[in-house]
């Protein structure tokens, strides 16, 4: 059983999307409507095409130049629509795709039930920060719209959540790995790169997980993180 030495902890970091608030379901809903648009042009069953695979293939192809976030998602949806319909998609449907992306960029923030209570309890004892990936403006706007900004000493919007990125943040904070704990919903981005550094991590899974973030938990032999159901459970450890 993994333990956390709470006497050592100085900085508690939260992921944002799907850790502090609901995010992925907005993308899922947009995808569902996107597939409906495509089905006007291509009979899914007849040609056996799987639009999900086409879209994910484009997202992966574009990730190195677009990065994470809604703008890249919109552009990958448009490219997928062009290819899938053999460039026959109508302008009005392209506009619908853009509008769906704009909705994602403006959605009403729905904070998870125990988040604010947890942040309030932590802020007196620790430096609390937020580490999130995605579009800079979009992520900062969501923190602002959530009203949770006041709990965070800093909000780091990063391109990739790998050990190098976490190490850079630890260096900036002038702390050791054992003084840091990360809380998030993604094993790939919030948990494994953090425990790789010897730092602490809480994993709070959500039902909807983006395919590009998915890691099968059963494949992890040496689990150095603590799995929770709700954010407030971190208060049992910190």
Q: Which residues bind a copy of itself (CB under 8 A)?
A: 65-67, 71-72, 74-75, 78-79, 82, 85-92, 94-95, 98, 101-102, 105-106, 135-138, 140-141, 157-159
DSSP letters of 1-58? -----TTT--EEEE--BTTTB--HHHHHHHHHHHHHHHHTTS-HHHH---HHHHHHHH
- Tell me the closest approach of the beta carbon of residue 218 to a copy of itself, in angstroms: 32
Cβ 225 to a copy of itself, closest distance in Å?
27
Answer whether 18's CB lies under 8 Å from 185's CB: yes
DSSP states of 77-120 as a string?
A: HHHHHHHHTTT---HHHHHHHHHHHHHHTTPPP-B-TTHHHHHH
Which of 172, 198 has the CB closer to a copy of itself?
Answer: 172
101 or 225: CB nearest a copy of itself: 101
DSSP SS3 for 238: coil
Question: Which token pair is 161?
Answer: 């959540």
Q: Name the minimum Å distance from CB 174 to a copy of itself.
A: 13
Toward a copy of itself, which CB reaches closer, 5 or 47? 47
Per the rule left: phi > 0, alpha: psi between -120 and 50, beta: everything else, 86 is left
Residue 13 or 78 having the CB closest to a copy of itself = 78
SS3 annotation, 127-166:
EEEEEEECCHHHHHHHHHHHCCHHHCCEEEEECCCCHHHH
CB of 177 to a copy of itself, least distance (A): 21
Best CA proximity match to 33, nearest among 23, 43, 45, 25: 25
| Shortest spacing between CB 207 and a copy of itself, in angstroms | 28
Nearer to a copy of itself (CB atom), residue 119 or residue 143: 143
Nearer to a copy of itself by Cβ, of 55 and 158: the residue is 158
CB of 228: closest distance to a copy of itself in angstroms?
29
């Amino acid at each position: 059983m993994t333990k956390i030495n709470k006497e050592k902890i100085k900085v508690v970091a939260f992921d944002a999307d799907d850790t502090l608030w609901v995010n992925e379901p907005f993308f899922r809903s947009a995808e569902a409507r996107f597939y409906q648009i495509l089905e006007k042009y291509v009979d899914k069953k007849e040609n056996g095409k799987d639009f999900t695979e086409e879209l994910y293939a484009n997202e992966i192809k574009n990730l190195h130049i677009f990065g994470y976030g809604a703008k890249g998602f919109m552009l990958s949806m448009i490219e997928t629509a062009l290819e899938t319909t053999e460039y026959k998609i109508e302008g009005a449907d392209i506009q619908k795709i853009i509008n769906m992306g704009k909705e994602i960029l403006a959605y009403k923030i729905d904070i998870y039930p125990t988040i604010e209570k947890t942040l309030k309890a932590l802020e007196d004892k620790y430096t609390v920060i937020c580490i999130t990936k995605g579009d800079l403006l979009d992520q900062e706007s969501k923190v602002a719209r959530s009203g949770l900004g006041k709990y965070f000493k800093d909000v780091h919007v990063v391109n990739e959540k790998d050990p190098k990125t976490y190490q850079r943040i630890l260096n900036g904070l002038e702390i050791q790995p054992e003084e840091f704990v990360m809380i998030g919903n993604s094993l790939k981005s919030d948990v494994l790169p953090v425990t790789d550094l010897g730092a602490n991590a809480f994993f709070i899974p959500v039902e909807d997980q983006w395919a590009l973030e998915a890691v099968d938990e059963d494949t992890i032999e040496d689990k150095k993180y603590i799995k929770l159901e709700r954010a407030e459970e971190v208060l049992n450890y910190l």
